Structure 1
Amino acid sequence: MKQFLLLLGILSLLSLGSADTIAFNCNSNQVGGAKCKNWGTTFTWDRPSNRTSEQRTRGAGCGRPNRCSRPPYGSGYQCDEYPFKSVRESDRGNQVNRCVAARQNNAQGQALRNFYYSRGEFRNRGCHNQPPCRLSVAFSNASRLGYCQSRPNCRNDGNEYTRSGPARRDEVQESEFFRLASGTVLFAPGGARIGDVVYHVSFRNETLLEERDVVDGENDDDDDAVVENMQVDEDPIVAVVEGWMDENEGF
């Protein structure tokens, strides 16, 4: 049985045995890279050094300063890259980046860090600070977005870039959708099964997400307030569905 972790509105982490899967809000950079740049959805956390992380960040076009520090973005926004700088596959270069709200990016980073180092409510889950650790991604909360459909419209919405400029997208094959007991629909390109468990992640104090910039896997030295800020609840997969139109149907 697979085990999934869902960060409400942002991402889910799914423990798959051979690989753990993270399901992100489809209104983010990850789906553009996974579905429309053929980056795929399975990666390897390798606990990179600070130097390696910086190289990967620059390769994604997110070195400082970057386009997200200028209008129409600027204060309150961060440069989000896919694949993450915490995974080995980003060494290939040509990652995609997107300007996202700092709170969203920090929440994603904190969940990944807790998962990598099995801290807080991930004490018995995740990578246990033992690289290499494989993980996959899936998506949720995106019924209104064209490029988050089973067969997506991969036209760039103007906020999908590589280091060299606006990203060019390619059409990809269809993916599967699943409904959780809560009614949430999960878009899982890597697959899932009825009975797999999703862990909903929320934050006790969202102010911490605004006050601190969180890096997605460089080290494990966050203080206790940050580590314990996350709460996890279970939500199993109950059905295979046709797409986003089935969200909350019958609930």
Structure 2
Amino acid sequence: MRSATVLTLMATLAYATPPMSFNCADDMQDVCDNMCWGAYCTQPAFGSTLEYDNYGGTGSRTSDVGKRRTNSAGCTPRPNRCSSVSGKNCDEYPFASTSDADKGGQVNKCVVSGHNSRQGNIIKNYVSSTCNNQRCSFIVGFGNPGAQGVKYCNAYSDPYNQCIPDGSIFKNGKADVRPPQAAPQRRRRVGNSTVALPGGLYLLKSGMRVSFGEDLDIGTKTKRAEPRNATLARRAEDGLEDEDVHWDFHDDEIAARLD
């Protein structure tokens, strides 16, 4: 009986996975800005460690849980504020597939539809290959955070000076605001209080620079997303990337901390 109880508990609890990274320079500039604003800039910040629960265990974005989370983020019901913007749709952070979205106060941005699809495909392929679509805790990294067109992915170190809003990212139905100068460190909600968030800029063995919202050791194994079919992946430039694009996750490793 005790063994059966332990096995059931192990199956229920989320487990940690290798940190994963997006390439923000590869048709993901707008999506990365929204994720980084939510991770580093909004107050309190959500950070970049998320708890995947597959839409509360329902497996569907259109389930009651999924709808509640996307409604809270401002991306549903449709039409939403992005519906009238040609070629764009609504991206939210934290993702509706994570229990972090239940905290409320998610941020949203109107992004190129193909870029949003790319983000969704990468997340879907990651949790499928790494978490077997089961509950898991994972760290999101933002590769090439200083690339042209990416504004907020280096903000882990200085949110007040680097999180200058441009009016495109919304929270609770209105444009989100600059974090207060009186809060020199990023904060996240823990119960009824907030605590300082860690984070840094790292160099991977592959040569990519990645900002992670966690303090990671040299030698930490990571996963780096690469498209299996580069020709299909280029469709994101035209807003056409869809589920035909499969993303593989290559082993990588933190070689150095750069800050």
TM-score, normalised to structure 2, is 0.69
CA distance in 1, matches of 2:81, 2:25: 22
Give the SS at the match of 2:203.
Answer: strand
Identify the match of residue 180 of structure 1 among 184, 196, 204: 204
- Report the alpha carbon displacement of residue 207 of structure 1 after superposing the two structures with TM: 5.7
Residues 129, 232 of structure 1: alpha-carbon distance in 2 compared, 3 angstrom cutoff: closer
CA distance in 2, matches of 1:91, 1:62: 14
Count matched residues. 206
Q: Is the 8 A contact 1:139 1:187 kept in 2?
A: yes
Identify the match of residue 131 of structure 2 among 121, 127, 130: 127
Question: Identity over the aligned pairs, expressed in percent?
Answer: 31
Deviations 1:76-131 (A, max 9, x none): 21211011111112122221001111222111111111222x2xxx2xxx211222
- Report the alpha carbon displacement of residue 25 of structure 1 after superposing the two structures with TM: 8.5
Q: Is the 8 A contact 2:94 2:107 kept in 1?
A: yes
Q: Is the 8 A contact 2:66 2:96 kept in 1?
A: yes
Aligned twin of 1:86: 97
Identify the match of residue 138 of structure 1 among 130, 133, 141: 141
CA distance in 1, matches of 2:222, 2:131: 17
Deviations 1:144-173 (A, max 9, x none): 655323213222122110132111242534
CA distance in 1, matches of 2:137, 2:97: 11
Aligned twin of 2:175: 166
Question: For structure 2, which runs of at least 5 residues remain unmatched after alignment?
Answer: 1-16, 187-197
CA distance in 1, matches of 2:126, 2:96: 15
2:88 pairs with 1:77: yes
CA distance in 1, matches of 2:30, 2:201: 14
Deviations 1:182-211 (A, max 9, x none): 322111121212112333322212266544
2:78 pairs with 1:54: no
- Report the alpha carbon displacement of residue 212 of structure 1 after superposing the two structures with TM: 5.9
Equivalent AA in structure 2 for residue 189 of structure 1: G
Equivalent AA in structure 1 for residue 166 of structure 2: D
My pick for the range that moved more, 204-213 or 80-89, is: 204-213
Give the SS at the match of 2:165.
Answer: coil
CA distance in 2, matches of 1:165, 1:25: 18
Aligned twin of 2:166: 157
2:37 pairs with 1:32: yes
2:69 pairs with 1:42: no
